[in-house]
Amino acid sequence: MAAEAAEDRYPRPVVSAAEAEWIWRLLSVQALESGAKPETVRLAVIVGLARASGARYGGLLRCTMSSLDLDAGWVTVEHGKHRTPRRHGLDAGTILVLRRWLLVRTELCTELEGSIPDALLLTVHHTHDNGVTVAAGLPITRQGLVLSWRRFVHRTNARYAARRPPLPTRFEQVRRVWDT
């Protein structure tokens, strides 16, 4: 009954489990290709972590380097407004994508002066924040994640037009499939 009430409150339709897994497979394969764009690798990390934990953007943005233990195969995510820490297991594919992201992340941080950010998710190119240029390698904002997801959706929808249904422009419609 509570699940039905929650579904009624969210106005946009959630994708099927098969569709969500298709998105994960597409991104994970693209992220592991040689010459993959850093944005694609970061987006694969976001989808992989959401798949493992069901976390919203806020929980993913709070992930730090110390949240990860790839050797043990888990990530700790602080969920919700009370930031309740929960440990989630990672599958082999997500661990591969995360290892690739850590290499990309190291390259992004080479241009930074001073200490390297502890945030797991970083900007992948120079951006603008209220008219100020922000260097790559700094912690990304929620809006940055939203724009990254939408760019992926628009590219993918154009690529697969008339061959498959369009992807949703809101990540929440995919994340809810993996909500635990």
| Residues 138-167: tens digit of each pLDDT | 899 899 899 999 999 999 999 999 898 999
- Determine the average pLDDT of the residues in 131-138: 79
Mean pLDDT of 13-24: 94
pLDDT in tens, 89-105: 999 999 999 999 999 99
Packed helices 38-53 and 142-159: angle between N→C axes, nearest 10 degrees: 100
Residue found under tokens 């309740």? 84
CATH superfamily of 2-178: Intergrase catalytic core (1.10.443.10)
Q: Quick one: pLDDT at residue 112? A: 82
Query: Could you state, in order of their start, the residue ranges of all structural domains in the chain?
Result: 2-178
Candidates 117, 113, 152; CA nearest to 27 is 152
In this prediction, residues 162-179 reach a mean pLDDT of 92
Q: How many CB atoms lie within 10 A of CB 114?
A: 5
Within 8 A by CB and 6+ apart from 142, the residues are 57, 58, 61
| Band (9; pLDDT cuts 50, 70, 90) | low
* Residue 12 · residue 168 · CB < 8 Å: yes
